[in-house]
A and B are shown apart, each in its own frame.
Chain A
């Protein structure tokens, strides 16, 4: 599908969300793209329940609360979210606008791009095994899109968190499941842990204590995996492996966009937070400049300054008048207050 908007924000972390607010005050509409299937970036994915103590005037706020409150704050501006999609390619159009295509084939065009990509996209953590890519999507799957694919098959699930246990429990109904984990303690929610242990007792699943050390197979198809438990090796025959070792952040496709990048960070100026390419901005954890601090607070400031410059690209013939939300009737109307 094709979309058209003023600004595309890559990354729906706290900084991307607040950018919607600053841009919205200037009548600039946004679409946001995030690889995660939820909103909130690191705050929601890595530490939803941990308290943050250095958001001005919020004495104590959890990662999830911060995300929820930002969503309430930007609601009047009706941002459009494209979740579970990665921004892959960027193309400059003849009229100086940009078109971004996403991993699910959407094309979004806009006058400016704001990269608020944190430390990059959240992607599954891969087993450190040589040529593992050859097996991906044939024998190794990091998510389950269609569970019937695994029906009546012998599969191995590795990991000890919620995804590993949820899928062990779920797929035990239709597949022959073996769970491999390095210890017999699990960080998943207690209900799934007790369900899994019950299934094991009833011999409906198998549990192996250990860690996967290598994979044998050919042409992208696994034949067996080797696991190790304190020096004792065990070989398990299987064709399918579902590793769930959480997510990590990786710069990903943005690295190929010809931006000036230094140590996986995008260089910007500190007046407009514009990158080496005009009308592409970078704010939040992803950018670098002298004195940069990776704080949510700094990202918010960067969003405000970026928005001023974006205005000149989105409304080249208009003059931007600086106003406060406390006193401007116009801004208050936009906020619906």
Chain B
């Protein structure tokens, strides 16, 4: 029995993306590599949201909460408590997991559209707090965030190229982790949860525990991306927690293909590159992105990954 039929294709796509990333790395300089790192971090956020939205069917519109949490944790711990950025990154992930558990344990109790609204509201609460808190730098945010010291590994994290490679490696590790999870019995339970809660409960599953667990894990992974994002830019601002960040990531996931893991990573590449190119020519790039999104939702409900799958199936049919 093949309970996870897309696994092969998502590996192919992930490897192609990695290869493309490395090729881009080899052919660009400082700005290109910083941009590459940024794309890799958005891919991490998108993949973690896919675990929630694509697999478990929990449409979270508050993922920016954990992104900002990870970023600010590193910012505060490194600039105000004098911790090394590496230690601070570890603590940021831990904080993301704890916050994910505390928020998740409550919000997964509400279903459907209310879940979307509650996660949105919780994210906005953090944004409001960061925006007004003097300690957190208020609207200016926190500048002067150092990067982790990776000398022990023989790496100079301050170098844009090294940072980009580490970000790519982190994205790949997150892919491997989520791929294993998706292929495991737990992964099948998540998809069952998405499909039919009543039946899953009748089979004996503790839905609250399952939902809280994925929410927690997704929060921890997103916090990792936030922690790296803070180090990439050297500063954090309340913008990280803004609901438009959550919205954009959700768009990336849907565009890439819900539940395909590698698809949302591809979505992150497409959206970031498109935004970059369009921003040069027009101030209305969000409008173009919105139109693209509507087109995908209408004509390709399974996103870019679904298009890829359908295209391959058609190609195979022609050669058979």
The reply to whether chain A is a binding partner of chain B is no
Q: Report which B residues bind A (CB closer than 8 A).
A: none
Q: Report which A residues bind B (CB closer than 8 A).
A: none
